[in-house]
């Protein structure tokens, strides 16, 4: 996962309500400099939307989000996704993720959850919900006993605090929904989304 994210500090978290929005949305994000895209498996349009992006936007690095069970790990593999992200982690999910050839980021919000994930060999995690779980203060505390672990904090992150998160040495990237906003996708405001992507890239340095 660290190889995939090299040079990509911001991952837009995408929720698709319509399949036809998938390709122009991905094209706008890639044009704005954000190539690593997390498409959440929350909607009926998600699976076909991912297929369309993989087929028609070759510069995009597409992964699945909201992966909550073993079946969705298998689905992600079959779709040709390059990574998978979960908001949490069960023992079955941790085991399936560790055995998959596709990089998997389980979600954690506490030391105990982190240590359980490490028992399965995981070293990269989603920190969720980041702000509600304590934000940068918790990530700084994690850095002491878990120096080899890296995080993708998501939840409550936006233009107001993204730089603070990215300044932490144990943060690989941040996930955010402020770029591919649901209302902008519904309006098919691709140029505005591209502008937001460019702003995120500039902030990330």
pLDDT at residue 205 is higher than 90: no
Pick the catalytic residue from 35, 52, 126, 194.
Answer: 126
pLDDT digits (tens, 9 = 90+) for 57-78: 999 999 999 999 999 999 999 9
Pick the catalytic residue from 35, 38, 52, 194.
Answer: 38
92 has catalytic annotation: no
pLDDT at 181: 97
pTM: 0.96
38 has catalytic annotation: yes
pLDDT at residue 6 is higher than 90: no
Please, what is the Cα angle at 70 between 15 and 79, to 5 degrees?
A: 55
Q: Which CATH superfamily is domain 2-204 in?
A: Aldolase class I (3.20.20.70)
């Amino acid at each position: 996962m660290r190889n995939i994210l090299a040079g990509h500090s911001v991952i837009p978290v995408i929720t698709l309500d319509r399949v036809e929005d998938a390709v122009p949305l991905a094209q706008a994000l890639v044009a704005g400099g954000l190539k690593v895209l997390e498409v959440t498996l929350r909607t009926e349009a998600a699976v076909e939307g991912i297929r369309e992006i993989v087929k028609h936007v070759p510069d995009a690095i597409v992964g699945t989000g909201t992966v909550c069970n073993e079946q969705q790990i298998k689905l992600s593999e079959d779709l040709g996704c390059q990574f998978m992200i979960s908001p949490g982690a069960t023992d079955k999910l941790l085991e399936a993720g560790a055995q998959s050839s596709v990089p998997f980021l389980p979600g954690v919000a506490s030391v105990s959850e982190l240590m359980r994930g490490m028992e399965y060999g995981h070293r990269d995690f989603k920190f969720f919900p980041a702000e509600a779980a304590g934000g940068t203060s918790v990530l700084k505390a994690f850095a002491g006993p878990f120096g080899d672990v890296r995080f993708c904090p998501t939840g409550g992150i936006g233009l107001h605090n993204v730089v603070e998160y990215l300044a932490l040495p144990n943060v690989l990237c941040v996930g955010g929904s402020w770029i591919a906003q649901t209302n902008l996708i519904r309006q098919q405001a691709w140029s505005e989304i591209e502008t937001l992507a460019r702003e995120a890239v500039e902030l990330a340095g």
